[in-house]
Structure 1
Amino acid sequence: MNRLPGLDLLRAIAIVWVMLFHGLRYGTPYRDFSVLGWMGVDLFFVLSGFLIGNQVFKSINKRKELNIGEFYISRAFRILPAYFTVLAIYVLVPISQEGRGLQPLWQFFSFSVNLFIDIKNSNTFSHVWSLCVEEHFYLIFPLIVLLIMKRSGTGLVIFLSLLIVIIGMYLRADILLNQIDTIPIYRDYVEKIYFPSYTRLDGLLAGVLLATLKVFRPHFWQVLLTNSNKVLFLGGLSLALSIWIFKDRFGLMATVIGFPILSISLALIVASASSTSSILAKTKVPGAYVIATLAFSYYLTHKSVFHLVKTYGGELIQGNGYVSFFVYGFSATLVATVLYLSVERPFLKLRSEFLNRKNTRHYANAEVSHSNN
């Protein structure tokens, strides 16, 4: 999929929002906005579900097949080099650890940190929980699609997505009511409800449903794009409703229905941003493209950078929120740029070269086979 300015803007907003949320403990400003920054992760989930769903569905719709190996290789080149580089730094340079310790390494290698984390004793690199959720999605989603697309159409995709959302709602309610009894509630809630993949699929599935409409219901998708600003308005209203619901973030209503409503609202905003005529696409924000490009490197490194800045220069900027905002932001950008240029971009180029060679060999073999027949 070609990069769209509206989606780049949303990606930039998502990562800045997340970093502002994590920056609250360092005294950065914009508290009323930053305290909701955890929603930036849900925006990332919707974007990932939409982009990956579009990639998978497009391949099946055009070729009537999906190359699972190629999909996994593509994801591995995209995720693993930068991820393992940062993990190695955390292990080899203990001063980079922003928390109280690391979970066992096998959990990072197996992307199971979100299922076993003990945030009281080992919360360093804990933000990798959301990457674990996405990795589980990348692993299972193409396999499920292969099974169901040969037997039916979009109806089953929609039905299964809604079923998974309903199961997630039930699980969150059951866990909140029957398994969480600690005061304060935060630690148990995060470990048992907020981090696990099986309770956090709403955003990814909302993105997948958008991709389903785009690929298999193009006429309906075109209606959304034509009315992109109306869709954006509707998404904004439902986002406002989500924010109101999450005023009691650990309450029953927020836990059960808050995440689906938030995901739907963000999906509407993503749909609007996919149109070149939407306000989001036409809004020119300086640096948005660069921030969107660096988003994954920001995500991996920003908490460690914030920790190091506070450790070695925190006293110099303490008490001045806007100076702190600039120093933390500049430092995070510098480190993210280094990681992107030295690791992320070279491996993205290698991915393109590898997949191009693979496809060239595939088509050459297909031509030979055809001529022999």
Structure 2
Amino acid sequence: MIKAIWDYLTSVFRPVKGDIPSLNPLRVFGLLAVITAHFAQTLEANDRILNYSIYLRNIYDSASQFMDMFFVLSGFLIAGPLIARMESGKKLKFLEYFIKRTFRIFPAFYIFIAFYAFLLAPASLGKHADTAAAVQQIQNRAYVEFLYLSNYLEGIQYHTWSLALEEQFYLLIPFFLALVYIRTPSRNREWLLIGLYVLPLLYRIWAYFTFMSDVPSDEMTHAYHKYIYHPFHAHCDSLIMGVLLGRLHSARSVELKNFFANKTLSSSILAAGTVVIIPVSLFTNEFEYGFLNQVVRFNIFSLYYGYLILMLVYRPEFWLSRLFSYSIFSAPAKLTYTAYIIHVLGSLFAFQLFIGLGWMPADGYIQHSHVALYGVAGGLCIMALAYFYYLLTEKPFMALRDWIIGRMKGRPTQHLHPEQSR
């Protein structure tokens, strides 16, 4: 009994079969950057930043590029195995796929939304007449979250748009692969994916030259989120980039190995991409009207992180691949999903804790250059909270999922481990 409890509590620290270790730090660093960006934006919105720098603002806001990185990873890790299966002549197992996705994603998210809307909001706002309407509005909007529509309709948490966008992808991708992709001649499949990749870009170009040009500057952030950043049709190109990587990994692995065997060329391309990424992050801001800012930045980031992912996979001897493969990144990478779900609420706890410990000014005023330190520290605190949330809301359903899949396949289920994918 004690051993079983210990195994349960420490399961997150054990490596997962089929894991790609060099990709784990991308998820960890990306999450910490996003948490820091949200913290910086909250401070700026409440006028709590000292020695404000427009360049630091751009850097913090540019952490949104890691959402594109997450999307590329999701497309690669989810669609890649499906493509490999179909390329080998096997049919997709729709029931197994949706069981895996359902038990992996829904429980932790639904439990959090239900807790926030139906327990925390009424308890914190009370039952007074002047707050009853606010509570009711939150509870009504919770159904937007439950239906994964918060990238089109207003939900109750501003960060859940990305979870909605990804879930829409998870629902569509198996049908697309089975009904369109596999029926396309093999020689044209990459062109099919490239064509799909270009469609959101064409939409953004159209939006940029039509209605976005008429949006007043003080309404630009809202319009950008509503029409460019959040909608699936405007921002799914990073996910499609991941699908394209899955196709290349499955059908052109020999060519990729030969390409990345040229260490000088492959490293030079990564360096050139980094040289582009740095000034884009430093000198542009997506909340300001501009072709680079709001149209092609998505493609710059998805191409860069797509290439980086392939390099980490195909050049295991590369210094970054070896550094990223350390097992210390495995556990926090598994916690990124639950940490992302709770991070807005968890930030309140983390930063109140820092104030109580005297690590953070009680009045909330922070030097702009220090925001990153507080953001990373807060992110690590949220990771600790996510560990317990993972044990309560993700791990049990992952075990149940594996038990169901095991029964479907008629195999023993005593040694079950969760998959890596987000």
Which residue of the partner structure matches residue 318 of structure 2? Answer: 278
Which residue of the partner structure matches residue 76 of structure 1? Answer: 102
Change in CA separation of 1:270 and 1:6 when aligned onto 2, cut-off 3 Å: same
Which residue of the partner structure matches residue 305 of structure 2? Answer: 266
Conserved in 1, the CA contact under 8 Å of 2:350 and 2:382?
Answer: no
Change in CA separation of 1:96 and 1:277 when aligned onto 2, cut-off 3 Å: farther
Conserved in 2, the CA contact under 8 Å of 1:238 and 1:262?
Answer: no
Q: What is the distance in 2 between the residues matched to 1:229 and 1:55?
A: 30
RMSD: 3.0
Q: What is the distance in 2 between the residues matched to 1:12 and 1:309?
A: 18
Q: What is the distance in 1 between the residues matched to 2:195 and 2:152?
A: 22
Conserved in 2, the CA contact under 8 Å of 1:9 and 1:280?
Answer: no
Q: What is the distance in 2 between the residues matched to 1:217 and 1:337?
A: 38
1:254-312 Cα deviation digits (max 9, x unpaired)? 32222112211110001011132222221156842222111101110111111344467
Shift of 1:161: 2.1
Which residue of the partner structure matches residue 166 of structure 2? Answer: 134
- Please identify, of 172-181 and 38-47, the stretch whose mean Cα deviation from structure 2 is larger: 172-181
Change in CA separation of 1:65 and 1:21 when aligned onto 2, cut-off 3 Å: same
Which residue of the partner structure matches residue 36 of structure 1? Answer: 62
Shift of 1:114: 0.3
Q: What is the distance in 1 between the residues matched to 2:68 and 2:240?
A: 11
Conserved in 2, the CA contact under 8 Å of 1:50 and 1:210?
Answer: yes
Residue 302, structure 1, aligned to residue 329, structure 2: no
Alignment of 1:224-263 (within 5 A): 224-227=259-262, 230-231=265-266, 233-245=268-280, 247-249=284-286, 250-263=289-302
Q: 2:32 aligns with which of 16, 23, 28?
A: 16
Alignment of 1:327-338 (within 5 A): 328-338=378-388
Unaligned runs of 5+ in 1: 362-373
Q: What is the distance in 2 between the residues matched to 1:279 and 1:265?
A: 18
| Amino acid of the structure 2 residue aligned with 1:296 | Y
Which residue of the partner structure matches residue 205 of structure 1? Answer: 240
Q: What is the distance in 2 between the residues matched to 1:281 and 1:334?
A: 26
Q: What is the distance in 1 between the residues matched to 2:207 and 2:280?
A: 19
Which residue of the partner structure matches residue 149 of structure 2? Answer: 112
Q: What is the distance in 1 between the residues matched to 2:187 and 2:259?
A: 19
Which residue of the partner structure matches residue 201 of structure 2? Answer: 169
Shift of 1:236: 4.2
Residue 88, structure 1, aligned to residue 121, structure 2: no
| Amino acid of the structure 1 residue aligned with 2:163 | L
User: How many residues are matched?
Assistant: 355
Which residue of the partner structure matches residue 344 of structure 1? Answer: 394
1:20-42 Cα deviation digits (max 9, x unpaired)? 21121357998675332111111
Q: What is the distance in 2 between the residues matched to 1:307 and 1:227?
A: 48
Q: What is the distance in 1 between the residues matched to 2:63 and 2:280?
A: 15
Q: What is the distance in 1 between the residues matched to 2:293 and 2:20?
A: 32
Q: What is the distance in 1 between the residues matched to 2:98 and 2:280?
A: 37
Conserved in 1, the CA contact under 8 Å of 2:28 and 2:332?
Answer: yes
- Please identify, of 209-218 and 279-288, the stretch whose mean Cα deviation from structure 2 is larger: 279-288
Q: What is the distance in 2 between the residues matched to 1:96 and 1:288?
A: 36
Which residue of the partner structure matches residue 365 of structure 1? Answer: none
Which residue of the partner structure matches residue 329 of structure 2? Answer: 288
- Please identify, of 217-226 and 33-42, the stretch whose mean Cα deviation from structure 2 is larger: 217-226
| Amino acid of the structure 2 residue aligned with 1:61 | E
Q: What is the distance in 1 between the residues matched to 2:399 and 2:63?
A: 32
TM-score w.r.t. the length of structure 1 is: 0.85
Q: What is the distance in 2 between the residues matched to 1:28 and 1:329?
A: 19
Q: What is the distance in 2 between the residues matched to 1:270 and 1:203?
A: 13
Change in CA separation of 1:12 and 1:236 when aligned onto 2, cut-off 3 Å: farther
Unaligned runs of 5+ in 2: 1-16, 51-55, 126-133, 412-422
1:127-159 Cα deviation digits (max 9, x unpaired)? 111111111111111111112344234443322
Shift of 1:248: 4.3
Conserved in 2, the CA contact under 8 Å of 1:96 and 1:304?
Answer: no
| Amino acid of the structure 1 residue aligned with 2:248 | L
Q: What is the distance in 2 between the residues matched to 1:227 and 1:76?
A: 41
Q: What is the distance in 2 between the residues matched to 1:236 and 1:297?
A: 33
Change in CA separation of 1:241 and 1:108 when aligned onto 2, cut-off 3 Å: same
TM-score w.r.t. the length of structure 2 is: 0.76
- Please identify, of 192-201 and 316-325, the stretch whose mean Cα deviation from structure 2 is larger: 316-325
- Please identify, of 246-255 and 160-169, the stretch whose mean Cα deviation from structure 2 is larger: 246-255
Conserved in 1, the CA contact under 8 Å of 2:72 and 2:241?
Answer: yes
